[in-house]
Every structure is written in C-alpha cells, then in structure tokens.
Structure 1
C-alpha cells in the first residue's frame, strides 16, 4: 500500500510541478518571441530538473522508506542540471540561427 501511495505522490509531484514549469517556459518563450515550435526542448529540461530534485530531495520525505535509497552522484546531478540549462537556452539559439 505504501508503494502505491509513493507512486501516486510521484505522479502528483511531476504533474503539478511539471505543468507549472511548462507554463513558465511557454510564457517566457512567448514573451521573448521565440518560435513555439521549439518549446518542447525547454519542456524536457523541466522533467530532467524534476527528476534530479526527486532523486536528491523528495524521495527522502515520502511515506515509503526503502533501504537502498540514495542521492544521485554529484557529478551526475551537475551534468543533468547543465544539460537542462542548455536545453532551456537552445530554443533561443535555434530560433536565431534559423531566422
């Protein structure tokens, strides 16, 4: 039962914060006049950031306590965050190169 509650918690976290992040990304791209065709690239970065947050922080606050829980390695976390930053910036670069 605790596993199902944790799965529901993960789904709610990703849907709520993912939707919030996607709204921010879309509005930012729209206000800065970036083509909305490439907004999906920035939206993928939101999912990566949420994954890093879950693995490093949120998994330790849930009701399901496993023994094999551990954080991502610092190098992996840093790499994923840098990839997310590049993905957020890339629609601006792609748009300026194709115009």
Structure 2
C-alpha cells in the first residue's frame, strides 16, 4: 500500500509537471483520470514482475506473462500520450 501511495504520487506528479511545462492543464479533466489509471497500471506491472520477489515468501509466485506485461505497459503509455487530448 505504501508503494502504491508513494510511487503513485511521485509518478503522477511527474506526469502532471511534464504536461504543465508544455502549458497543458490536465488536473480537472478526464485527462487527469487517464494519467492516474496509467500510473496504477504501471505500478501493478512493476509490482508483479519485480517487487513481489523481494520479500520473504517466494513459493508459488509467478511473473506476469510477457505478452500481458507488454500489452499493459503499451496501453499505459498510450493513455499517458492521449491524456491531454481527452476533454
């Protein structure tokens, strides 16, 4: 939960900062929601492929299949790119 909050806030803030540096405001629109969803997807993939293996319990844990990881990351990047266009 702490990972989700800390890294989610950092990644979302960075995305909002990048858009605001280009003069695009996505805070109070559906674009802000797209950014939040894409950050959550990226954190999910990161957790399932890397972070869950850094704990004590290692039995029965599997990474996401490569196709699923690639699809989710691609979808997330597309959502980040289209966020300013969504009204």
Provide the TM-score with structure 1 as the length reference.
Answer: 0.77
User: Structure 1, residues 42-79: CA drift from partner, whole Å, max 9, x if none?
Assistant: 1211110110010000000013x152200000000000
- Equivalent pairs counted in the alignment come to 84
The 2-side partners of 1:43 and 1:32 are apart by 19
Larger radius of gyration: 1
Map 1:11-90 onto structure 2 (within 5 A).
Answer: 11-36=1-26, 37=29, 38-63=31-56, 65-90=57-82
Q: Unaligned stretches of 5+ in structure 1?
A: 1-10
Gaps of 5+ in 2: none
- Over aligned residues, Cα RMSD in angstroms? 1.4
Taking CA–CA contacts closer than 8 Å with sequence separation of 6 or more, which of the two structures ends up with the larger relative contact order?
2
